[in-house]
Structure 1
Amino acid sequence: MMLLLPWQLQAQPPEQETQAETDTQIRQRLTGIYEVLEPLSAVEVDVRDGVVLLSGAVSNETQAERALSLAEQLPGVILVDDGIQRRLDVQGNLSPLLQQLENNVMQWLRALPLFAIALLIFAVIVYLGYALARWSALWQRLTPNAFLSELVAQTVRTIAIMLGLIVALSLMGATTLMATILGSAGVVGLAIGFAVRDTIENYISSIMLSLRQPFRANDHVVINEHEGKVVRLTSRATVLMTLDGNQLRIPNSTVFKAVILNYSSNPQRRFAFELGVDAADDPVAAMKVGTDAIKALSFILTEPEPNALIQTVGDSNIVLCFTGWIDQEKTNFGRARSLAIRVVTSMLDEQGFTMPEPIYRLRFDNTDPIATALEAGSNDSVNKNDMHHSNRGQSAVAEMGSKRQMIDSDRAVAADKLLDVSPDTHLEAMVNDERAQKHDDDLLDPQRPVE
């Protein structure tokens, strides 16, 4: 046995607790915890060298997991052995559930006054928001049209509902639920945004078109390849009346990105047409004859004056392009152009200018003798029947003369109608009739300038 000197005894560390004492402390502490918790009171504890051995019985798996978790949390525990029996009896499992349900009911009953106050606050905030949204005079003063006024009012209603919900949940202490609702609303809103992307784009385009109106009602426009008169601008589509009298709806997202040609924005409009003269004729003289003929028309504007130029030079002709300006508010564009073509063609013909015509080359082969004989026989039979039909022919000529007079009279009446170049108001009347019907979502404002 080795002896220790006095100074060696002073350097020696204090004596540590034995493992047996530690195991006893763990067992006593766990047993005390399980006795406090009634569902775990039947659990037996044994500790050996830091290993906790659990036995006994509990009502269900939840209580067994609870006992294991408590044992693992104690310091000095190396391992927990699960020997607990799950009885799964009716009373042991039903009683905690009923107790929890009773506690929840009592908690809700105690929270009823607070819930009533939160509900009242929510109702007051929503009512004030809707009352503010119904203040149409304010929104119409702040926004340029009724569509944006309704949009702002709807935004105020939505903000009021969200604000009331946040205040009510905060009063009840349900901040976690509020965060969950807001997070879910964000995710759902993002998903809906991707799903209705085209609808949102169309809605935003409607707002932009209502702010920067590119046309007015009854304007003659061409939107991409679609042509017609504007009937109305709604929150979803632009409605046109085509030149055939049909109604055409174009989505506003397409209209906002489209190339728009507005014929009605400027009353002065130029027409153009091409005519060809013979290559041997003087093109400058033909241009002067044509422009003088156009100037003679009463509906042609003197400023800017009609003009002509050489368009192309072909193999056997020279193509000339004639232009003239009219006032669309007083003159029909199509009829004016037609009459201009008519007078220029007539004047060029009177002045001796040759209009190139298609040339066909015919080739005659040797005649068939049988065909020649048949033709001679038919001529003989015709000579014999000439005497027989002479009297009938005279009466037919007289009848044809009277019919020709009637046809000439009808042609004169038709010519007078065609010479009328006043604007065609039939399509405009159809648009006005369509607009006369009640439509609350028309975004066209005649007070706003066309941009």
Structure 2
Amino acid sequence: MMRVLVLLLCLCAAPALAQNTDQPQGTIEVEDSATQDAAIAVRIRDILSELDGYEEVTVTVSSGIVTLRGTTIDGPKADRLNDIVARVAGVVAIENEVTETTDVVARLNPAVERFQTRLTQAIALLPLAAVALCAFLVVLFAGILLARMRYPWDRIAPNAFIANIYRQIVRMVFFVSGLVIALDILGATALLGTILGAAGIVGLAIGFAVRDTVENFIASIMLSIRQPFRPNDIVEIEGDVGKVIRLTSRATILLSFDGNHIRIPNATVFKSRIVNYSTNNERRFDFEIGVASDADLDQVRTLTDRVVGELPFVLKDPAPMSWIERIGDGSVILVVTGWIDQNDTSLALAKGEGIRMVKAAIEAEGIEVPDTTYRIQMVGGAPSLEEIARPEVRPEPPKAALTVATDVEDTSKAALDRIAEAERNDPETPDLLSDNGLTE
């Protein structure tokens, strides 16, 4: 326990026992010499006279104790006096009573002198700066001329958008190269790291601020290279169906069949499920039709396949096909399909004509196409619940005569093509898609 108390006392007394490093160290001599004091004072004055900022400092020495009085321009200069005086031989102690000056002119003079010195240096560097500027402009101008050339950028790039990106990269490389050469001529290449570091921080901040725009830009590059669709293709993106007008650096523009513009961000297009209806010329239409539950379903299927196959606009290969889908309320539902060449035939008109011809053929065979609606007829008093729920019984329909299929040519296709072509020929809105580009 006693050892612990002694240790604590020593630790507490350590700061008090520490020597002041601002004062001279060593053994103090016994003899006191006025000649030595005068020599110390002269030596200190000579040193301070060679240093700037100590013109107002006075020095007196008595018995080896140096007393400093007066003013300096700032506090650090006053504190530095202790280090200077302590190195003079024979100094026993230092009394530093120097303070900062409050004279505005005295404090501004060093700043003015520094400005004049830097201005003189800048004027002296003007010829070298002119050479550095000329070197920078020459390199930059060479990069601009190289970027404006059509060859090789248009040849190695899949489209104009990518070629423009290549040109921007070339301009940036030549700009940085010119800057490095200019700074090297001036001997200030160390500034390049600071400039690039600041540019990196600013670029990172801007990148976070315009994250969606950057995402769309990158998606535009990928879409313009991969081209999942071409101009005038009919596509479905996120439930929107239309004809592709153009691909810009931010969005994909579709022309709907209603004549409206649909603008979809490229980031959405790139991540979405895309259905391209124009990739293949053949396209299938399908519809449902119900027949009476007591009908010969095999006969109905054979009949529908024959009727659809005999339509002049339906392709023989792939062949039409029908199947029983489900049993409905008082009827059996069949799905009937057929294939058309969508370049010559309207899908909507073909589907409608197929429904008309199949219905007429089924009814011509005496097979009922039931109407599942209910009719309530108020006769006399109020009907009972059983009478309300009982479906109306209709007489057997007469056999209908077969009709001839009408023209199903897509008459609106030419009009939509003209609208889309007019939109695509607008010079103020360039397109990143190409008719000759590779598609995935």
Indicate conservation of the 8 Å contact 2:303/2:362, yes or no: yes
Letter in 1 for 2:436: Q
Task: Tell me by how many angstroms 1:230 deviates.
Answer: 0.7
Match for residue 370 of structure 2?
356
Q: 1:214 aligned to 2:228?
A: yes
5+ long unaligned stretches in structure 1: 1-15, 368-414
The corresponding residue for 1:342 is: 356
Residue in 2 that maps onto 1:65: 76
**Are the aligned partners of 1:30 and 1:71 in contact in 2 as well (CA < 8 Å)?**
no
Q: Who is 1:419 aligned against?
A: 406
* 1:290 alignment partner, one of 298, 304, 326: 304
Are the counterparts in 1 of residues 56 and 71 from structure 2 also a CA contact under 8 Å?
Answer: yes
Q: Does 1:223 align with 2:237?
A: yes
The answer for the alignment partner of 1:158 in structure 2 is: 172
Please give the root-mean-square deviation of Cα atoms over the aligned residues, in Å: 3.0
Name the CA distance, whole Å, in 2 between partners of 1:229 and 1:247.
Answer: 10
1:298-355: per-residue Cα shift (whole Å, max 9, x none)?
0011111111100002352111110100010111110000000001111111111112
Superposition pairs of residues 248-397 of structure 1, within 5 angstroms: 248-357=262-371, 358-362=373-377, 364=379, 366=381
Within 2, Cα distance between the matches of 1:129 and 1:419?
A: 65
Distance in 2 of aligned mates of 1:349 and 1:258? 45
Which amino acid in 2 is paired with 1:449?
A: L
Any conservation in 2 of the 1:235–1:441 contact (CA below 8 Å)?
no
Q: Distance in 1 between matches of 2:93 and 2:277?
A: 91
Corresponding letter in the other structure for 1:126: L
Equivalent residue number for residue 439 of structure 2: 450
Alignment CA distance shift 1:231-1:366 (3 Å): closer
Q: Secondary structure at the match of 1:40?
A: coil
Map 1:393-404; keep pairs closer than 5 Å.
Answer: none
Mark the CA change 1:427 to 1:32 in structure 2 (over 3 Å): closer, same or farther. Answer: same
Percent of aligned pairs sharing the same letter = 39
Q: Which has the higher mean CA deviation after the structures are superposed, 356-365 or 159-168?
A: 356-365
Determine if the alignment matches structure 1 residue 428 to structure 2 residue 420: no
CA contact (8 A) 2:78 2:100 kept: no
Q: Choose the corresponding residue for 1:126, options 136, 140, 145.
A: 140
Distance in 1 separating the partners of 2:79 and 2:114 = 22
Provide the TM-score with structure 1 as the length reference: 0.78
How many Å separate the matches in 2 of 1:113 and 1:198? 47
1:8-41 deviation digits (Å, cap 9, x = unpaired): xxxxxxxx963259x9798776544322114203
In structure 2, relative to structure 1, the CA distance for the partners of 1:441 and 1:315 (3 Å cut) is closer
List per-residue Cα deviations over 1:257-312 (Å, max 9, x = no partner): 11111111101001111111111111111111111111121001111111110000
| Cα deviation, residue 212, structure 1 | 0.8
Hey, what's the Cα distance between the residues in 1 that align with 2:62 and 2:274? Answer: 91
Structure 2 unaligned blocks of 5 or more: 1-24, 31-35, 383-402
**1: CA distance, partners of 2:241 / 2:92:** 87
1:55 to 2:69 alignment: yes
> Using a 3 Å threshold, how does the CA distance of structure 1 residues 173 and 46 change in structure 2: closer, same or farther?
farther
> Cα distance, 1:444 vs. partner?
1.3
In terms of fraction of residues, the more helix-rich structure is 1
Residue 82 of structure 2 aligns with an amino acid whose one-letter code is A
Structure 2 distance, partners of 1:174, 1:303, is: 76
- Identify the range of structure 1 (278-287 vs 32-41) with the bigger mean alpha-carbon deviation: 32-41
Matched, 1:18 2:27: yes
Q: 1:319 to 1:193 in 2, by over 3 A?
A: same
Moved more, 260-269 or 46-55: 46-55
Give the number of the structure whose alpha-carbon radius of gyration is greater: 1
Structure 1 residue 436: Cα displacement: 2.7
1:164–1:353 distance in 2 versus 1, CA, 3 Å? same
TM-score after normalising by structure 2 = 0.80
Contact 1:72 1:79 in 2 (8 A): no
Residue pair 1:272, 1:323 contacting (<8 A) in 2 also = yes
Cα offset for 1:87? 3.3
**Match of residue 437, structure 1, among 422, 426, 435:** 426
Note if contact 2:78-2:99 (Cα within 8 Å) is conserved in structure 1.
no
Pair 1:292–1:55, CA change in 2 (3 A): same
| 1:236-247 correspondence runs (5 A) | 236-247=250-261
Are the counterparts in 1 of residues 60 and 68 from structure 2 also a CA contact under 8 Å? Answer: yes
Q: In 1, Cα distance between the equivalents of 2:264 and 2:97?
A: 76
Post-superposition CA distance 1:20-72 (Å, at most 9, x none):
59x979877654432211420332356899997542123x3x2x421313524
For residues 67 and 91 of structure 1, the distance between their equivalents in structure 2, rounded to whole angstroms, comes to 18
> Take 1:154 and 1:257, find their aligned partners in 2: how far apart are those partners?
27
How many residue pairs are counted as aligned between the two chains? 385
